[in-house]
Structure 1
Amino acid sequence: MIEFINGKVSYIDTEYIVIDVNGIGYLVYCANPFSFQKNEGESITIYTYQHVREDALKLFGFHNRDERRLFEKLLQVSGIGPKGALAILASGAPERVVQAIEEEDEKFLVKFPGVGKKTARQIILDLKGKLPEWMPSLLDHDGQPVDEAGHKRFAGNKELDEAMEALKALGYVDKEINRALPVLKEKDMTTDGYIKEALKLMLKV
């Protein structure tokens, strides 16, 4: 395993960069090769992953070890190969990818090339709760999504999150809100719709 390569960026292509190390050019595939444009001609350290197959031996490069670890985690998902993992990392925001996984945000994940609903669901099933080192502020001690104030979030449902915060701002406490939650979770509504429905449910008790 090659941990990293230190050398000059001598060439940039749409899929890879070439690092010149004492006259030897290492071809390194990257999520976004043009992110190294500012380093062209300069000496850099690029962290690598060596992918070995019967018919190929390839090096993949990353700006840092965290990015490489996420790449390795994605490779563990059924249906995700090196090309697909790179396409996901090409977003340039690994922490946003992790947030989408933790919040079960399939709509965000299917935006990536080669990721359909089935693969997005597989990514969530395989990796949710296994990536706390990237987004510790978004998880509680049980590994469940929380907001910046430490309140539980509802995976993939921004409108319900907003409605819960609005109800708390109106003076309702968690005990009251929780009585309405089982019904609200089964509905697909706007933020205002959730608030109105929650008020009806709470007034019935």
Structure 2
Amino acid sequence: MIGRLRGTLVEKLPPEILIECAGVGYEVTMPMTSIYALPDNDQQATIFTHFVVREDAQLLYGFANKTERKLFRLLIKINGVGPKLALAILSGMSAEQFVSCVAHDDLSTIVKIPGVGKKTAERLLIEMRDKLKDWHADPDANSFTLTSVHAGNMQEAAPDAKGDAINALVSLGYSNAQASKAVKAVHQQGMDSESIIRDALKSML
């Protein structure tokens, strides 16, 4: 089991990143809430991971903190919720926001997540209620373990920032039409892809 990676962030192509550890480059899929917390490329970062082995693939999922990983592991135990849907949930809201939705039976917000129909949302609320009744967030949940913390300053936007944002949203389960519409609605000159994705996700929830 690979539980943690610490190394140099080489590339960010949401929802995937490439991180080099001791000369080995690991491709890791992460929820957007975790990617927002990453530093710039070529900086050092530590991410908590969940390793999945299937007959046709070996997949590595990464998280900003143990709280997000804990919730991911609880989510994939729910019937009908796989890693892709769990990532979509954690991309649209933080772990604490999801816990709040469950506590308040907020069905309307849950069903806005791509891939979550009414029946799945109801199952999530019912089954997660018991799993989260003694929920305690990791005390370091809001502090991503970094050697160099990304301060969130606006980076120079890549020419294809809009295209990258649309591709990321599609990979999270949104249709191309939904992704394109949301990106068009929030895009402003100079925005990088991460900012576009963040604002687009907010507009759809």
Same fold (TM over 0.5): yes
Shift of 1:36: 4.8
Q: Which runs of 4+ in 1 moved over 4 A?
A: none
> For residues 80-99 of structure 1, what are the structure 2 equivalents within 5 Å?
80-99=81-100
Number of aligned residues: 135
Asked if structure 1 preserves the Cα contact closer than 8 Å seen for 2:2 and 2:49, the reply is: yes
Instruction: Considering Cα pairs closer than 8 Å and 6+ residues apart, tell me whether 1 or 2 has the greater RCO.
Output: 2
Task: State the 1:43 CA deviation.
Answer: 1.0
- RMSD value over aligned CA atoms? 1.5
Q: In the alignment, what sits opposite 1:27?
A: 27
* Inter-partner Cα distance in structure 2 for 1:134 and 1:87: 22
Q: Which secondary structure does the structure 2 equivalent of 1:11 belong to?
A: strand
**Structure 2 Cα separation of the partners of residues 6 and 38 of structure 1:** 13
SS at match of 2:87: helix
Question: Percent identity between the aligned chains?
Answer: 37
Q: Identify the residue that residue 67 of structure 1 maps to in structure 2.
A: 68
Structure of higher CA gyration radius: 1
Task: Give matches, 1:100-115, under 5 Å.
Answer: 100-115=101-116
Structure 1 partner of 2:178 = none
Give TM-score, length-normalised by structure 2. 0.62
SS in 1 for 2:39: helix
In 2, Cα distance between the equivalents of 1:23 and 1:99?
Answer: 41
Distance in 1 between residues matched to 2:12 and 2:128, nearest whole Å = 32
Q: Give the whole-Å Cα distance in 2 for the aligned partners of 1:41 and 1:11.
A: 8
Retained in 2: the 8 A contact 1:12–1:37? no
Unaligned 5+ segments in structure 1 are 136-205
Pairwise CA distance, 1:129:
2.9
Inter-partner Cα distance in structure 2 for 1:14 and 1:44: 16
What's 2:118 paired with? Answer: 117
TM-score by length of 1: 0.62
